[in-house]
Chain A
């Protein structure tokens, strides 16, 4: 997981620079404890959500960002009993050419999307790139239609 590793490394470096004893804390936990590091813009929010991204990959715009979970924008299934209806990426949303790609975070921190549901990757950006690879130029359909 190159991105998380890099973020951890940056966080650890910042802790050392601040004169605090180096401890093996994930960056998000360090954040919780108030070791703020303004010189490291990519330090994630206290929620542990990954950093936002926005890039052109194989000619398509992929974006990821933390979202406020309004709920109800897609039917997670299970018979409309109130299950689903929110983001399963822990308040993180991914888009391909502006269309939302359903992503989900696994217990071990890896990510999948509805386009590659059985093949976890390390970050939501990697899931977005895997979706672009898989789509081969096809347009993504917005859920709830999927």
Chain B
């Protein structure tokens, strides 16, 4: 059984194997297919039209399945690897071990945002940015530049306290847990972290930065924590909602799974705490 661990508690060997598996997926082109899929949904999901991956109730189950697909790809390279998660409410500094050269590397240089250290620096030659929205082919970051503070634990708790999963109009204008976690309303959790990292993470091609997976693994864990706090609160909507994935409707691009089938993460993985 896969156990997803806090990135801060990984051993040196676990970090080395995770990085090696990422680089191998990149080398074979499988990594970039995930970037392409994500950007397609970013461009296609709209508040008044069909919406599946973002700004909609299925934001959480869609990313759960997306991460499962990615984790299985990693495990096809190295069966010992699991996705770690980044609790940005605890490891909230640019000096976190997450950003060390033996793991993800640090922030970008001021001139052009280019990441200069770590396994994903352009200078290492193993991480070309091929699925992109502009001419730059190197990984970029600007940690803490777009917004100065990552969310606090108190802000996370304020969102976990919301008892209703999601509400009409089921988009970026909704009240409820999902949209506050996603960040279009309120204290802003998920969206703010993308902005804090900067570089490609702030764009539609955000999975170009490997921290995308660690960020979303923690968002996914917060969904599980919310379920534990509100055991009688269901996924909503339950049915008959145009343009929105209801509980028992299948989700694109897989078309073989529903939010209902993804509510229980323990069928696929557990967390270290």
**A residues adjacent to B (C-beta < 8 A):** 74-79, 81, 83-84, 88, 102, 104-108, 114-120, 134-136, 138-141, 143, 146
B interface: dominant SS: loop
- The reply to whether A78 and B46 contact each other, CB–CB distance below 8 Å, is no
Contact of B184 among A76, A106, A135 (CB under 8 A): A106
Is A108 within 8 A of B172, CB to CB? yes
A-binding residues in B (CB < 8 A)? 37, 39-44, 46-50, 52, 55, 112-113, 131-136, 146-147, 169, 171-173, 183-184, 190-192, 194-195, 202-206, 252-253
A104 to B47, CA, bound (A): 9
A88, B46: Cβ atoms closer than 8 Å = yes
Cβ A114 vs Cβ B42 within 8 A? yes
Chain B residue nearest to A137 in the complex (CB): B112
| B203 near A75: Cβ-Cβ < 8 Å | no
A77 to B43, alpha carbons, bound, how many Å? 7
Q: A130 to chain B: closest CB distance in Å?
A: 10
- CB atoms of A138 and B136 under 8 A apart: yes
Interface of A is mostly: loop
27 CB contacts below 8 A, A to B, read: A76-B43, A77-B44, A78-B41, A78-B44, A78-B252, A79-B252, A83-B44, A88-B49, A108-B172, A108-B173, A114-B39, A114-B205, A115-B133, A115-B202, A115-B203, A116-B202, A117-B203, A118-B191, A118-B192, A118-B194, A119-B194, A119-B195, A138-B135, A139-B134, A141-B134, A146-B39, A146-B205
